[in-house]
Structure 1
Amino acid sequence: MSDDSITEADLKLLATPDDEVIKASQQFCFDYEDFKARVVSGQRWQQLIQCHLYFEHVIDHLLRESLPNPDEISFGRMGFRQRLDLARALDLLPAEIGTAIKCVAKLRNKVAHDLTFEIKDEDVTDLRNAVPKELIDFILDEEGRASPAISFYELLEVVLLKTEIIRQQHAASRVLARKSEIRLRTVLRKTPGAVYVP
Structure 2
Amino acid sequence: MTDNPDPMSASEGKEGSIEESFSFDLRLFHRRIEVGDDWQRVIQGHLFLDHVLTRTLEEALTKPDEIRLDRMSFSAKLDLCSALGLIDEGTVKMVRRINRLRNDISHDLNFEVHEYHGREIRDLAPPFVRGLIEERIGVPDASIMTHCLKVAIVTLDMNRQRWIEHRKAQKAREVRLNAAIENARRILEETKAREPRTTRERT
Which bracket does the TM-score occupy, shorter chain normalised?
A: 0.7 to 0.9
Asked if the contact 2:87/2:159 (under 8 Å) is kept, the reply is yes
Q: Does 2:68 correspond to 1:74?
A: yes
Q: Flag the 1:150–1:43 CA change in 2: closer, same or farther, 3 A.
A: closer
The whole-number CA distance in structure 2 between the counterparts of 1:145 and 1:129 is 17
2:28 alignment partner in structure 1: 34
Q: Determine whether 1:134 maps to 2:134.
A: no
Cα separation, partners in 2 of 1:146 and 1:78, compared to 1, 3 Å: closer
Distance 1:49 1:146, change over 3 A: closer
Whether 1:180 aligns to 2:176 is no
Indicate how the Cα distance of structure 1 residues 34 and 181 shifts in structure 2: closer, same or farther if over 3 A, else same.
Answer: same
Identify the residue that residue 91 of structure 1 maps to in structure 2: 85
Question: Which SS does the other structure have where 1:184 is aligned?
Answer: helix
Higher relative contact order (CA 8 A, sep 6+): 1
Question: Which ranges in structure 1 are unaligned for 5 or more consecutive residues?
Answer: 1-22, 192-198
Identity %: 30
**Which of 133, 136, 147 is residue 154 of structure 1 equivalent to?**
147
Contact 1:88 1:98 in 2 (8 A): yes
* Amino acid in the other structure paired with 1:164: D
The code of the aligned residue for 1:79 comes to S
- 1:59 equivalenced with 2:49 (yes/no): no
Distance 1:146 1:71 in 2: 42
**Residues 141/115 of structure 1: CA separation in 2 closer, same or farther (3 Å cut):** closer
Larger radius of gyration: 2
Structure 1 residue aligned with 2:164, among 143, 163, 171?
171
Structure 1 residues 157 and 167, CA, compared in 2 at 3 Å: closer, same or farther? same
Question: What is the aligned partner in structure 2 of residue 14 from structure 1?
Answer: none
- The answer to whether 1:114 aligns with 2:84 is no
Across the aligned residues of Structure 1 and Structure 2, the Cα RMSD in angstroms comes to 2.3
Instruction: Work out whether residues 104 and 127 of structure 1, in 8 Å CA contact, stay in contact via their aligned partners in 2.
Output: yes
1:145–1:107 distance in 2 versus 1, CA, 3 Å: closer
For residue 47 of structure 1, what is the aligned residue in structure 2?
41
- Give the partner amino acid of 1:82: A
Q: Does the residue aligned with 1:160 lie in a helix, a strand or coil?
A: helix
Answer whether contact 2:119 2:144 (CA < 8 A) is retained: no
C-alpha displacement at 1:174, in angstroms? 0.4
